[in-house]
Amino acid sequence: MRLIRYNLTFAFGILFQLTYAQVNTSHPLSSYGIGEYNSGVNAITGALGNVNSVWIDSTNVNFFNPSSYSRLSKGNTLLSLSLDSRFSFYQQQGLTEFKTSTMFEHFSLAFKASKRTGFAFGLKPYSNVGYEFSQSVFTGLDSIRYTYNGRGNLQDAYLGFAFAPLATKNTHLSLGANVSYLFGFVSNERKSELVGEDTNPGGLSTDLTRLSAFHYELGAHLEQRIGKRQSLLVGFTMNPEQGFNASIESNLYSSANIDAPSIYDTVFTSVRSGLVRVLTSYEVGLKYKFYFKETKRKATTRRPNLTLAFAYKVNQGIRSEFNATEDWTVDPSNMLSFGMSYSPETRLFENVATLKMLEKLNYRVGYYQRALPFTANGQNYFDRGTTFGIGIPILAQMSLSSLNLAFVLGEKGTSAESDLTEQYIGFKFGMVFSPSNFEKWFRKRKLD
């Protein structure tokens, strides 16, 4: 009980921090629209190239596909947390810069209610904005420095449900939905100042976008066992077109000292209401699992398995509808993902006493490539990366708890050498807490 109490206290502390967490992106292109989408915030699928729609099992809270909640083990409530860090190296026309970013990403609690139903709730990021860069321009008499920075994120507080109309030993069909409340803000600022002046005269322009709305997403999957050693899973997720209420507060200031906000003079201010329309997005994927033949080793038996996964995701873009202002748009984008996982032993609990350390781990690799909705000088931006990681089960109390590590080596840019490029190293740390076999959470007790 003491361990569980500590875990729950830690989890709700993380939940509090999530609301105020630093964004996990620092790319200037996140200034477009409502920021960069979070396409892989789970440390498990993050190590598998972000194959989010099909990585479904009883040890993982997959809130990307809400139909996964019906696959949880009865009595084994799962509490999932994640931390993401990125180290970015920027380069453009001989100029380089290094930046880091870190955030707590998600909190999720999932449990199975009956043989065919499952529930989940939590908080997960929807999109992020985070950047800061500057440039200096010589006007002939003076030099003016322009500084651009942005911050903010949109959070998704969700409640999910899944129902399996078909659940047999060999076939499982499940449908699910997440209903959530989307909220947050995005701030973009542009500051100009005269370089070399003692008082730093200049101006500041700010745009603050607030957004809030109810939001929903759908998911489905079908898994079929093929003989004794194979299974095939088809997964599908969809975010239907939805309109989110939004407002933009714009301000323009001038000052004899741009570093002293208390003496700013307001030149212009306005608040405009409108709608941000996020068009339909969907993901479809396949997962194939193969169980190798049992191998004898002294007095024990090993049952390794290999899993291959593929996913394709499409975002059709964003449209804005604001009064008395020019609408902005975000173009369509897509992503291809591949993942592979290898487990030396399928039945960990049965052979935990005889397994060596490396035989208890789960090994994961993956690759992804995104076509981003941004262009520069007529060239489309891409984002591609190689991922790898390990899953470390916590078997001391015979539970489904685990630690999951994911790493990514990625590159973002265009085919033109003169455009901005980003090379990054990412690290994800995920924790899944679950009660032991002899200590269930939310247990129904009966009196004789």
**How many domains, in total, are found in the chain?**
1
Instruction: Using alpha carbons, select from 385, 441, 411 the residue that is nearest to residue 50.
Output: 385
- Give the CATH number, domain containing residue 219: 2.40.160
Q: What is the pLDDT of residue 314?
A: 94
For residue 1, name the pLDDT band (cuts at 50, 70, 90). Answer: very low
In the chain, the percentage of residues whose pLDDT exceeds 70 is 86
Q: Is residue 445 part of a domain?
A: no
pLDDT in tens, 69-115: 999 988 788 999 888 888 888 887 777 778 887 777 788 999 998 88
Strand 295-297, strand 281-291: pairing: unpaired
Judge whether 38 lies within some domain.
yes
Kindly report, residue by residue over 192-228, the tens digit of the pLDDT.
888 776 677 888 888 888 888 899 999 999 999 999 8
pLDDT value at residue 197: 62
Predicted confidence (pLDDT) at residue 16 exceeds the cutoff of 60: no
Which of the residue ranges 41-55, 138-152, 158-172, 428-442 would you say has the lowest mean pLDDT?
A: 428-442
Predicted confidence band of residue 231 (pLDDT cuts 50, 70, 90): very high
- What's the 3-state SS for 190-251? EEEEECCCCCCCEEEEEEEEEEEEEEEEEEEEEEEEECCCEEEEEEEEEECCEEEEEEEEEE
- When pLDDT is averaged across residues 281-287 and rounded to a whole number, the result is 96
Q: How far is CA 129 from CA 8, 86, 212, in A?
A: 30, 14, 16
Residue 51 has pLDDT above 90, yes or no: yes
* pLDDT, position 319: 87
The pLDDT of residue 40: 60
Q: Residue 444: inside a domain, yes or no?
A: no
Q: Does residue 443 form part of some domain? A: no
Residue 17: the pLDDT is: 40
| Within a domain: 61 | yes
> pLDDT tier at 3 (50, 70, 90 boundaries)?
very low
* pTM across the whole model: 0.84
Q: Is residue 232 part of a domain?
A: yes
Poorest-pLDDT segment among 2-6, 40-44, 184-188, 228-232: 2-6
The reported pLDDT for the residue numbered 324 is 58
In a domain, 262, yes or no: yes
Say yes or no to pLDDT of 414 above 50. Answer: yes
Domain assignment of residue 28, given as a range: 2-433
Residue 191 counted as domain residue? yes
Average pLDDT over residues 414-434: 86
129 contacts: CB under 8 Å, gap ≥ 6: 23, 25, 30, 31, 34, 35, 36, 150, 151, 152, 153, 186, 187, 188
**pLDDT band, very low/low/confident/very high, at 305 (cuts 50, 70, 90):** very high
